[in-house]
Amino acid sequence: MNKNKAKTGILLVNLGTPDSTATADVRKYLREFLMDGRVIDIPLIPRWMLVNLIIAPFRAPKSAGEYRKLWTERGSPLLFHTVDLKEKLIPMLDSSQYQVEMAMRYQSPSIADGLKALNKANVKEIIVLPLFPQYASATNGSVIDRVMELAREWQIIPNIRFISNFVEHPLFLEAWAELGREMMAQGEYDRFLFSYHGLPERQIKKGSVDGYCQLGNCCANYTKKNQFCYRAQCFYTTRLITEKLNLPPEKVVTCFQSRLGKDPWIKPYTEDLIKDMADKGVKKVLVFSPAFVADCLETTVEVGEEYKEQFMDLGGEQWDLVPSLNSRDTWVKCVKDLVTKED
């Protein structure tokens, strides 16, 4: 192997997290996150007023309290699980051929720092893997947008390849199936609930091809016209994991969480399905969150604690959350395959 041969750079990018649970740090994170025009897709001035005068000041103290519930000695789980993923991936790759960096879309470590390290190493190509299985403009699209914004300032721009989604990757599905089997070995469940992060309906409509999107049964099929529809990808992910686990389809439900504001978001809402299940006498539920590859506020606190409390208050008996992929070996192998496989 020619030691002077340029390496391929790999940039793993997750969403981001506050630097600490202090209200000031949470407020800083919320401002950067929510001022992204792909996250809150309204004009700049009303977005600035909404975020800086309403959401960040009033939501930061409450969010800081929520972050304290999941913070550990290592800090934010989303951050350290992503660090662990990177550290387990590096030895699986030839160090003479690859250089791996990781970043957060918001806060630290930044995409700018990750790209700077790869640029300094004079890599011949950069492969960017946003760690979001289903494509959405607010997540994958935002990462791609930011990378291009930074790279266009360089005098020399190497090949840059983006991995836009990976819902069909066999190892991604197998990693979730392994986790599901481990949980299911402990007992029987009445329902299997797949809860994904929600998005405003208008964002789904914006990406609709030839007016295909009806925000309804059109998501029952995954085709070239809705291959980048976030809602369709979520339902598809559910179907693929359901098949892997041989779950009875009539016991499987897909829903969407984490609404913000009064505009309509994609349905069905997780809160509504919790009430519906309780009304039907469902007692034991196993919950998957396959929009997240690392445990975070939305999985550990929102799904694992808040939704559990709602379900139990309505008469439920058992609400178990399947852990996220984090740095599980099968998931690390999936990432290796994603970044080393040729187009």
- Residues making up the annotated binding site for Fe(2+) are 197, 298
Angle at 60 between CA 304 and CA 47, to 5 degrees: 110
CA distance 21 to 19: 7
Instruction: Round to whole Å and give the CA distance between 113 and 101.
Output: 9
Query: Which amino acid, one-letter code, is at 277?
Result: M
CA angle 99, 100, 102 (to 5 degrees): 150
At residue 169, the 3 state secondary structure works out as coil
**Cα 285 from Cα 189, distance rounded (Å):** 6
Distances 169 to 64, 123, 258 between C-alpha atoms, Å: 35, 27, 26
Binding site listing? 197, 298
Sheet containing 191-197: which strands, arranged edge to edge?
252-257, 191-197, 284-288, 318-321
280 contacts: CB under 8 Å, gap ≥ 6? none
Widest pairwise Cα distance in the chain: 66
